[in-house]
Chains A and B, each alone.
Chain A
Amino acid sequence: DIQMTQSPSSVSASVGDRVTITCRASQRINNWLAWFQQKPGKAPNLLIYAASTLQSGVPSRFSGSGSGTDFTLTISSLRPEDFATYYCQQANTFPLAFGGGTKVEI
């Protein structure tokens, strides 16, 4: 089974900061990687799929990159509404797997 490792597990940042979250797969997943944002008490929200494709309606300050085993989610300029927990997910093969999450805190 493929394991997904996210880092850091939490990050303290300020409005306007650039934030980078990394996700590493235990084996190659090509570009079958998605990023989700989750706020407390809410369902996850899809941000990026296929490693770098921005989901419709998601602000352009979010971007994704990477292929193979190493991937990155970048928020170019943090806004107040971006304080949340972020998860990566591999969909290359079943069983699907999420990373452990990265909490972006003020």
Chain B
Amino acid sequence: EVQLLESGGGLVQPGGSLRLSCVASGFTFSSYAMTWVRQAPGKGLEWVSSISGSTYYADSVKGRFTISRDNSKNTLYLQMNSLRAEDTAVYYCAKDRAPQSTLITYYGGEDFWGQGTLVTVSS
């Protein structure tokens, strides 16, 4: 059974840092691209970052957030620095629906999601 378990959220002051973790199980973690998506309170889904062979970021977080993975620990990370009030959201990690290939490194349509971890940026 595929499971994704996020942790690391919490209350942080503006300008502070947090590192989110997402521990994966039930699939060959190293074979799949992974993604972070966030949802501000009462708002829609916002793509944040993805990692396949390369890393990709939304403009709103570029230069402040860093996505990484440790395949030996089946863990995805999101290092968040210089946090702002507008970063307040539930952060979800999600698994791409198909394993990466030489031709396609990201398929889209993430088929498994974690339960989410709440990040609140406030003084």
Least CB distance from B103 to A in Å reads 14
Partner of B59, one of A38, A55, A95, A98: A95
> Interface residue count for B (Cβ, 8 Å)?
24
B115 interface hit (Cβ, 8 Å): yes
What size tier do the contact residues of chain A reach? 20 to 34
Partner of A38, one of B45, B58, B106: B45
CB pair A96 B44 closer than 8 Å: no
Closest to B116 in A: A43
Least CB distance from A9 to B in Å reads 10
Closest 5 CB pairs of A and B: A91-B108, A49-B109, A34-B109, A43-B113, A94-B56
Binding site for B on A (CB under 8 A): 1, 32-34, 36, 38, 43-46, 48-50, 55, 85, 87, 89-92, 94-101
Binding site for A on B (CB under 8 A): 35, 37, 44-47, 50, 56-59, 92, 94, 97, 106-111, 113-116
